[in-house]
Amino acid sequence: MTGVQDRVIVLTGASGGIGQSLAREFAGAGTYFALIARDEARLLPLLEEIKAAGSDGETKAIDIRDRDALHAYLKDLDKRHPIDLVIANAGVTAGLGPNRTRESDADSDRQIDVNYRGVVNTVTGAIDAMQARRRGQVVLISSLAGMRALPDMPSYSATKAALIAYGHSLRGWLKPFGVSVTIICPGFVTSPMSARHKGAKPFEMPADRAAKLMRKAIEKRKAFYAFPFLLAFGIRLQNLLPAKLGDLFMGGFDVEIEQDPRYREADRRQENAG
């Protein structure tokens, strides 16, 4: 990349469908990326792609559950390239067990650790420097499931709802310091994660289109953005109903979530050890 760096972006979950699309959407001259995911081999082609679009950047293989490693990296990065924008996008999904039995302990723990604790690790690793500079932006990628919990995805829904609450709190705290916070709640977006979702996916949209909508919300520094509009609006109306009536509308969202292949072997080893 040539010229002055206008913006330094930290993007977690950069190897996934939405993460890759967000990197492509923000790529351009003057932008420096720190692309973070567990599998660096999947990040390298994306880095080359955004460089071809005029950006520069680096990749880092980190599990965001490892707070010490993540904080050390973000602190070092900020010394070299002061961070302007953090997009906490990394997340995992899972659902009920076979025949609608309870979630496995491993699935529940993993979603809590990645979807909530991992996001907190990401934010707290970058926010001190932003607060001191009195500028910056934090973006939390939640989900419509955080606005209205899905019966077959209890831990996923709970962790995404936690991100919404966390984001509202962050915004109130950080606003006087010039740091803005944007909470984004996408609906169904075509991605490898979505492909494992075996059930109704109303208004599903391609990841590149979702990334364009997200970018507009981020650049406008919206406090809260949920899409697609019709589905988000329906959820808001549903939440105004008494709980028993609201529950009636969730019957069409029965779903089975295929096991994430990235964790299948690790779960098997854990079960055998138990």
Q: What is the 8-class DSSP label of residue 205?
A: B
Q: What is the number of helices (H) and of strands (E) in the chain?
A: 12, 9
At position 42, the amino acid (one-letter code) is R
Torsion of CA 101, 103, 104, 109, to 10 degrees: -170
Angle between helices 67-80 and 119-133 (to 10 degrees): 30
Of the listed 32, 116, 156, 166, which one is catalytic? 156
Q: Report how far residue 188's alpha carbon sits from residue 22's, in angstroms, rounded to the nearest whole number.
A: 16
Q: Environment class of residue 117 by beta-carbon count within 10 Å: exposed (0-12), middle (13-18) or buried (19+)?
A: middle
**Catalytic residue status for 166:** no
Instruction: Assign 237 to helix, strand or coil.
Output: helix
Question: In degrees rounded to 5, what are phi and psi of residue 28?
Answer: 165, 170
* Cis bond upstream, residue 228 (ω within 30): yes
Look up residue 148 and give its two tokens. 């209205």
Residue positions annotated with a catalytic role: 156
